């Protein structure tokens, strides 16, 4: 297991730091990939982080570490580093990662860094910082290979040998016309297998996918995944090629977005909190529970208003959990399906009514089924048909309503461009709780004549 290896690594590093066994520590650092070292950092004190960091022999590896560190860990860590050292490391990194990191730093610090960087790099980074973080422009790398249509395969190979050494993922070569508009693409592989004198335009693929700089990153990721490509070119409003989004960033987007959605649905913020301190986690989890607390207090007043009925027939209370539970659970099912469906593109926000109608139908079918089942239990327990009908009716209305609210709220949120994952948490759960209980007591008191 990868996890096991991490644990072993963390334990060894900690032990060696404690023993001050610098020689052995240096050996471990040298043979460990920076992506693995970054996980160790979360478990170390600040001084130990710096001791370990200074042992990394290679500036590029330090750059990988920068990219892989948790945002909070990095910010605290960077506080203690000399600006010159940060600049040297940033200059060894791909510029899209540099833009990400600089975007996280306080403005003052990032300005100083940009001034210290080589002009060419800092201009590129500033160019990237112009775009929104979560758009194609914000995640693209400006390092790509673009060649003219008339160039031959041999000339293209020569240009690869002479320049473009810093291109991160040179698997596609883009072909542009005199206005820098994207007109075709060739793979490195095609370049190698055609006769050397063939001009690029004779064998390039003209049917090339591209995305605009302002396209949402999830949308970009879905395109890369759908067409199984390794990079997608990004063009500006004049159709000029300005960058590419590579598949490694796409993987990160998918993983991050999935984690974000899952955490948001459960009301635990957007970022993974388990690695944070107990107090920080508590603070992040507090507000969602507060929404649920308010809902519970409202339900308390609702039930309180039926005190007289409860006094006459105390058993009414015993059905509260099953009615709330059934409503809550089917509501969670509906909203989860909608949220994940929207995220993966299986559900389209334009299908609002057909999705909601389908969920409502399922809610009614399941509501009738469980209403009859739970009503039958009530009948067996009390032999009071009015109570059985009231329980059945309450389960049915609670479940249908929950399926309706659970699907409608996230669909409606998506329609007005609010993240539907947020809707699944407090809104849906809390309102279903309150409404279920209210319906139950209304139906029960009416039918039982209380």
Site residues for its own copies, 168-187, by CB under 8 A, read 169-171
Interface with its own copies includes 1 (CB under 8 A)? yes
Interface with its own copies includes 369 (CB under 8 A)? yes
Q: How far is the CB of 101 from its own copies (least distance, A)?
A: 16
Q: Is the Cβ–Cβ distance between 393 and 371 less than 8 Å?
A: yes
Q: For residues 192 and 221, give the distance between their C-alpha atoms in angstroms, rounded to a whole number.
A: 29
Among 136, 374, 390, 411, binds its own copies (CB under 8 A): 374
With CB under 8 A as the rule, give the number of residues binding its own copies.
118
DSSP-based three-state secondary structure for 234: strand
Residue 347 is classified by DSSP as S
Pair of tokens at residue 30 = 């040298």
Interface with its own copies includes 314 (CB under 8 A)? yes
Q: Which is nearer to its own copies, 54 or 361 (CB)?
A: 361
Residue 271 is classified by DSSP as S
> 181: closest CA among 243, 241, 233?
241
Among 15-23, 124-132, 135-143, 285-293, the segment contacting its own copies (CB under 8 A): 285-293
Q: For residues 215 and 222, give the distance between their C-alpha atoms in angstroms, rounded to a whole number.
A: 11
Site residues for its own copies, 82-111, by CB under 8 A, read none
**Residue 58, phi then psi, degrees to nearest 5:** -115, 130
DSSP-based three-state secondary structure for 238: coil
DSSP-based three-state secondary structure for 232: strand
DSSP-based three-state secondary structure for 152: strand
Q: Which is nearer to its own copies, 15 or 255 (CB)?
A: 255
Among 9, 75, 262, 386, binds its own copies (CB under 8 A): 262
Interface with its own copies includes 322 (CB under 8 A)? yes
Pair of tokens at residue 336 = 């989860």
Site residues for its own copies, 112-171, by CB under 8 A, read 157, 160-161, 165, 169-171
Q: Which residue has the tokens 């990191």?
A: 101
Q: For residues 113 and 389, give the distance between their C-alpha atoms in angstroms, rounded to a whole number.
A: 72
Sign of CA dihedral 147, 153, 158, 161: positive
Residue 233 is classified by DSSP as E
Among 263, 356, 388, 411, binds its own copies (CB under 8 A): 263
Interface with its own copies includes 3 (CB under 8 A)? yes
Among 91, 155, 325, 412, binds its own copies (CB under 8 A): 325
Q: How far is the CB of 263 from its own copies (least distance, A)?
A: 7
DSSP bridge partners of 246: 231
Terminal CA-to-CA distance of the chain, rounded, Å?
62
Interface with its own copies includes 205 (CB under 8 A)? no
Q: Which is nearer to its own copies, 8 or 22 (CB)?
A: 8
Question: What's the half-sphere exposure (Cβ side, CA atoms, 13 Å) at 352?
Answer: 13
Among 82, 119, 278, 449, binds its own copies (CB under 8 A): 278
Interface with its own copies includes 330 (CB under 8 A)? yes
Q: Which is nearer to its own copies, 15 or 311 (CB)?
A: 311
Interface with its own copies includes 301 (CB under 8 A)? yes
Residues 6+ positions from 163 with CB-CB distance below 8 Å: none
Among 9, 88, 381, 448, binds its own copies (CB under 8 A): 381
Interface with its own copies includes 254 (CB under 8 A)? yes
Among 15, 27, 130, 226, binds its own copies (CB under 8 A): 226
Q: Which is nearer to its own copies, 22 or 35 (CB)?
A: 35
Among 109, 201, 212, 222, binds its own copies (CB under 8 A): 222
Among 202, 317, 385, 418, binds its own copies (CB under 8 A): 317
């Amino acid at each position: 297991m990868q996890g096991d290896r991490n644990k072993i690594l963390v334990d060894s590093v900690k032990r060696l730091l404690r023993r001050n066994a610098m020689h052995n520590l240096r050996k471990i650092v040298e043979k460990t990939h920076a992506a693995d070292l970054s996980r160790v950092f979360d478990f170390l004190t600040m001084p130990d982080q710096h001791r370990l960091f200074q042992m990394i022999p290679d500036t590029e590896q330090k750059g990988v570490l920068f990219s892989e560190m948790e945002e909070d860990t990095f910010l605290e860590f960077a506080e203690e580093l000399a600006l010159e050292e940060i600049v040297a490391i940033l200059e060894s990194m791909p510029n899209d990662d540099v833009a990400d990191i600089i975007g996280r730093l306080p403005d003052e610090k990032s300005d100083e860094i940009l001034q210290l960087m080589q002009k060419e790099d800092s201009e590129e980074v500033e160019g990237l910082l112009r775009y929104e973080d979560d758009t194609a422009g914000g995640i693209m790398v400006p390092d790509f290979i673009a060649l003219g249509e008339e160039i031959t395969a041999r000339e293209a190979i020569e240009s690869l040998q002479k320049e473009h050494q810093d291109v991160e993922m040179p698997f596609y070569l883009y072909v542009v016309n005199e206005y820098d508009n994207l007109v075709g693409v060739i793979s490195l592989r095609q370049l190698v297998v055609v006769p050397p004198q063939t001009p690029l335009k004779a064998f390039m693929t003209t049917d090339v996918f591209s995305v605009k700089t302002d396209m949402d990153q999830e949308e970009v990721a879905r395109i890369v995944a759908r067409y199984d490509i390794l990079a997608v070119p990004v063009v500006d409003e004049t159709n000029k090629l300005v960058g590419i989004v590579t598949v490694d960033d796409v993987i990160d987007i998918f993983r991050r977005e999935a984690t974000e959605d899952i955490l948001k649905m459960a009301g635990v913020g957007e970022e993974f909190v388990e690695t944070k301190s107990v107090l920080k986690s508590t603070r992040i989890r507090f507000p969602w529970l507060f929404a649920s607390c308010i809902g519970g207090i409202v339900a308390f007043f609702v039930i309180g208003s039926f005190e007289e009925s409860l006094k006459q027939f105390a058993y009414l209370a015993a059905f509260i959990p099953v009615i709330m539970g059934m409503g809550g659970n089917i509501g969670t099912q509906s909203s989860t399906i909608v949220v994940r469906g929207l995220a993966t593109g299986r559900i389209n926000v334009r299908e609002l009514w057909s999705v909601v109608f389908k969920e409502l139908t399922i809610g009614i079918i399941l509501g009738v089924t469980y209403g009859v089942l739970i009503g039958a239990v009530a009948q067996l327990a009390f032999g009071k048909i009015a109570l059985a009908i009231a329980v059945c009716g309450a389960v049915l209305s609670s479940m249908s309503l929950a399926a309706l609210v659970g699907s409608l709220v996230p669909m409606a949120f998506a329609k007005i461009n609010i993240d539907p994952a947020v809707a699944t948490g407090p809104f849906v759960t809390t309102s279903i709780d309150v409404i279920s209980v209210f319906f139950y007591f209304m139906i029960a008191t009416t039918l039982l004549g209380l």
